[in-house]
A = this chain, B = another copy of it.
Amino acid sequence: MDVRTICLGILTRADATGYEIKKRVEEGGYRHFVEASFGSIYPALDKLTKDGLVSVRAEVQEKKPNRKVYSITKAGRSAFIAALMGPLPQDCHRWPFAFAMKFADLLPEQRIAQMLDAYTAQTENTLTQLQQAGAKPQSRGEHFATGLGRAAYGAILDYLREHRVELEVQTAEAAE
């Protein structure tokens, strides 16, 4: 999902500045499904504006930094729906933790334990966020997506708790 499409999707729900789009990608219910940085959001909004898919109004506030509030246009709405009707980009699951675990035999026992602890804590966090998001009123599509995330991260957490002992046994044996 390229950043232009992400911006269009978020503007579908409400007008926003570039900064607010970033916040929604990070904190809103989008956090676990897509990513976008300022370095891509601002150029994306520029290009969307040039292409007539969004419109800008400048809110020149006295004694505050100016805001550029973006709204999606009719053409933008059509373009967004067209993007969802066409083939979706492949999922990208980059999972450095799992990659690292494949090389557990090269690492000292306590490093493995540390990585397992950190990753478990991180997954717990993610799950908490998704549960909070699930508690808020949502459309059915949003509810479905949130539930999908909960299912995936819940399973990961269960696996970590049930199977970490297998790895710790290995490194304990290697250390003998």
Contact = CB atoms under 8 A, between A and B. Distances in A.
Contacts of A98: 32-33, 145, 148-149
Contacts of A139: 102, 104-105, 170
Interface of A is mostly: helix
A19 B104 CA distance: 25
A68 interface: no
Interface string A93-131: 111111111111111000100010000000000000000
A30 B155 CA distance: 20
Contacts of A32: 93, 95, 98
A103 B144 contact: no
Given A99-B6, A101-B145, A141-B101, A107 B94 contact: no
Nearest to A138: B102
A29 interface: yes
Contacts of A170: 139-141
Given A9-B99, A30-B99, A88-B115, A35 B105 contact: no
Contact of A142 (B35, B89, B102, B149): B102
Given A151-B159, A155-B155, A163-B147, A92 B91 contact: no
**Top 6 closest pairs, chain A to chain B, by CB:** A104-B141, A155-B155, A151-B159, A92-B94, A140-B170, A1-B96
